[in-house]
């Protein structure tokens, strides 16, 4: 229980960073900023870890299909933004995605694989969309996207790897991450 409390405390102390995740201040320009952004935006960090852990909990084809679906759908969301399509209340959708990810992993929701893929795709589209909105006019969009996708894949892979090494405590870890996602998502929704 001390481990769960420690993880929760660390994640909650990082939650003020979420307020800076999509303010439009400090727009992004290149590969290195694409690599770093998922690590400093608590909303992204939690969702990406949750998707990886949920994939590990589900096992089988989900182990690789959920992360690949997330990456692909993030690109689709970025394309929507690049095309000038507006998603109303995008920040509220991001906050909601953190809460949904928390429920999925915390409760180890068992849905048929097509539904799981659809849910993950929806979460990813909104994250890809808001990231594309942050691109500066002079930014190297492809380099930024490559960096962002790399870090996303690594975070999801990290969650899967942790599940292998912490198999005996996987349910506790999933529950703790679920609580963190729900708390942070609720906070983000209140700030949106």
Going 143 to 55 to 127 to 186, the CA torsion angle's sign is negative
Domain residue extents for the chain:
2-9+29-191
How confident is residue 18, by pLDDT bands cut at 50, 70 and 90?
Answer: very low
- How far apart CA 74 and CA 120 sit, in angstroms, is 10
How confident is residue 21, by pLDDT bands cut at 50, 70 and 90?
Answer: very low
**Token pair of 36 as six digits:** 């770093």
Q: First and final CA of the chain: distance in angstroms?
A: 32
Contact 48, 156 (CB under 8 A): yes
Question: Residue 135: beta bridge partners?
Answer: 28
Task: Summarize the confidence of residues 136-142 as an average pLDDT.
Answer: 82
The reported pTM is 0.83
78: Cβ contacts below 8 Å, ≥ 6 apart:
128, 129, 131, 132, 145
Is residue 121 helix, strand or coil? helix
- How far apart CA 78 and CA 76 sit, in angstroms, is 5
**Token pair of 89 as six digits:** 């209340």
Give the distance, in angstroms, between the CA of residue 88 and the centroid of all CA atoms in the same chain: 19
Q: What are 41-65's pLDDT values in tens digits?
A: 899 999 999 999 999 999 999 999 9
Highest-confidence segment of 16-30, 136-150, 175-189: 175-189
**148 has pLDDT over 70:** yes
Residue 153 neighbours by CB distance under 10 Å = 16
Q: What is the pLDDT of residue 28?
A: 59
Residue 180 neighbours by CB distance under 10 Å = 28
């Amino acid at each position: 229980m001390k481990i769960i409390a420690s993880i929760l405390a660390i994640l909650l102390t990082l939650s003020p960073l979420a307020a800076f995740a999509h303010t439009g201040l400090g727009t992004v320009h290149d590969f290195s900023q694409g690599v770093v952004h998922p690590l400093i935006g608590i909303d992204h960090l939690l969702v990406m870890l949750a998707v990886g852990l949920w994939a590990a909990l589900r096992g089988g084809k989900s182990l690789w299909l959920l992360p690949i679906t997330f990456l692909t759908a993030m690109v689709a969301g970025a394309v929507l933004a690049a095309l000038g399509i507006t998603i109303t209340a995008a920040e509220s959708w991001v906050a909601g995605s953190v809460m949904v990810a928390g429920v999925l992993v915390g409760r180890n929701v068992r849905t048929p694989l097509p539904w799981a893929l659809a849910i993950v795709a929806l979460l990813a589209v909104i994250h890809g969309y808001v990231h594309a909105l942050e691109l500066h006019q002079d930014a190297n969009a492809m380099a930024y996207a490559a960096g962002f996708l790399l870090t996303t894949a690594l975070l999801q892979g990290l969650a899967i790897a942790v599940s292998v090494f912490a198999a005996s405590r996987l349910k506790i870890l999933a529950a703790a991450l679920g609580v963190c996602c729900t708390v942070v998502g609720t906070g983000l929704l209140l700030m949106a």
